[in-house]
Amino acid sequence: MDIQSEMKNQPKESGNNKELILQLEKQVSVSIWIQTIGKIMEALYLSEILRQSEELRTDPFENQAVQGVWIQTIGQFLEAVGVTREVLSSGTPGQLEGAKMAVLGDWIQGVGAIYEAHAGQQIVAEEMEQVISNLFVP
């Protein structure tokens, strides 16, 4: 089924309902930009912590965790741009391009989250190993 026939089969929205939905979509876009700003701040602060701490800077898993956050930040930014484009576009092609960009951003965020989670798991495993080895010192 193509998009045009799907759109014909959808119920018509009243003018007030359509305006409300558009306003809510714009608010979603603003909310995603707020998340993006927060994600950028997180990535910058974690990078600065890494830069300031020799111990953390030399740990490959700490570096990987920060890299994962940066990957998520890139994805978050792409999602924000895509959603904004989708909401502000007047035609279907622009909306679809925006939606594709938003979905790509979601995928990139997911990859970054996996990358960061793997690093976090390794950091926790190392710390647990240190705690256990300190408990059983003869």
For residue 112, give every residue at least 6 positions away whose Cβ sits within 8 Å of its Cβ, in sequence order, or none.
Answer: 68, 69, 70, 71, 72, 73, 74, 75
Q: Is the pTM of this model over 0.75?
A: yes
Q: State the angle between helix axes of 60-88 and 15-52 in degrees (0 to 180), rounded to the nearest 10.
A: 160
Contact between 130 and 110 under an 8 Å Cβ cutoff? The reply is no
Q: What is the pLDDT of residue 132?
A: 85
pLDDT band, residue 20 (cuts 50/70/90) = very high
The pLDDT of residue 37 is above 80 = yes
Going from N- to C-terminal start, the domains of the chain cover 29-135
In whole angstroms, give the CA distance from residue 104 to residue 83.
Answer: 11
- Residues 64-100 pLDDT 10s: 999 999 999 999 999 999 999 999 998 899 999 999 9
Percent of the chain whose pLDDT exceeds 90: 78
**Lowest-confidence segment of 4-18, 33-47, 83-97 by average pLDDT:** 4-18
